[in-house]
Amino acid sequence: MGGWAIAVHGGAGVDPNLPMERQDEAKKLLTRCLNLGISALRSSATAIDVVELVVRELETDPFFNSGRGSALTEKGTVEMEASIMDGNGRRCGAVSGLTTVKNPVSLARLVMEKSPHSYLAFSGAEEFAKQQGVEMVDNEHFITEDNVAMLKFAKEANAILFDYRIPIAGCAVEESPLKMNGLPISVYAPETVGCVVVDSQGNCAAATSTGGLMNKMCGRIGDSPLIGSGTYACDVCAVSCTGEGEAIIRGTLARDVAAVMEYKGLKLQEAVEFVIEKRLDGGGKAGMIAVSSTGEVVCGFNSFGMFRGCATEEGFMEVGIWN
């Protein structure tokens, strides 16, 4: 075993004109979350505990699109989703359509550990949350002024926006050649959050959480809660994806990284590069973070930038946005 390793992301695809102060804010948040995970790993925390801990922190901060600060539906409400997977036994839990659960990733873990199922959604997930006594808040808790303004902008543009952080002042939506399932959309950063960890015992875990797309249809489910697409962990590696959800779903990106490692004998770096190059059909844009059971850590993407950070037990640490 090569020791513990951790990676965190805040979404693939970044506005090239993102102001420096926003870039600095993102890097500070990613660094804080990395340090939180590093401290836990140095205290012998398990991989599954660390990914939940870090993603909870990201859900609590409104900067990225998860928990408080989630993107708004076409009706101006928040519908959140998350998943978590423990490579030790391939146990998993996922939730969708959450409107009042403060930390979706923790409810996903409760689905994994306290229910006979792997996935609960909408009213069933909310009822399960009440039964488990998790912290719940009004839907307004998750809504920020920035997102209300961005939804208004999206509706005026008649667009589904990936990047609801685009500065509104002087902003105009041009007709885009990019499409989702054959329909034109305006595309920028889908700022999903995620974390992958391999602990000192070589156990891997992954967790992913998001509010989805700005101005999305109510009931839309993306890749983040889908095991094998947005999240996957096994005895070989752990992966969390971000980007164009429909493309990630079609390519089952997270599972494919593990599959080519298992069946083709690729190393983690080779596997991530292979999947991004070969499995994103139709020009889909996405990114992923991954760790292997031997302590490797990789961040890969084909989009314009990805909010990301990683660290290893050997002392390596890096936080970045661009290529």
Identified catalytic residue from 46, 73, 99, 192: 192
Q: Distance (Å, rounded) from C-alpha 310 to C-alpha 318?
A: 5
Chain centroid, CA 50 distance in Å: 15
Within 13 Å, how many C-alpha atoms sit on residue 156's CB side?
10
- How many residues are recorded in the chain? 323
The tokens for 24 are 């600095």
Closest CA to 290 of 51, 96, 83, 52: 51
Question: 240 φ, ψ to 5°?
Answer: -130, 130
Count CB atoms within 10 A of the CB of residue 171: 11
Helices (H) and strands (E) in the chain, counts: 8, 14
Q: Distance (Å, rounded) from C-alpha 272 to C-alpha 213?
A: 25
Active site residue 46: no
Closest CA to 134 of 154, 152, 114, 164: 114
Residues marked as catalytic: 192
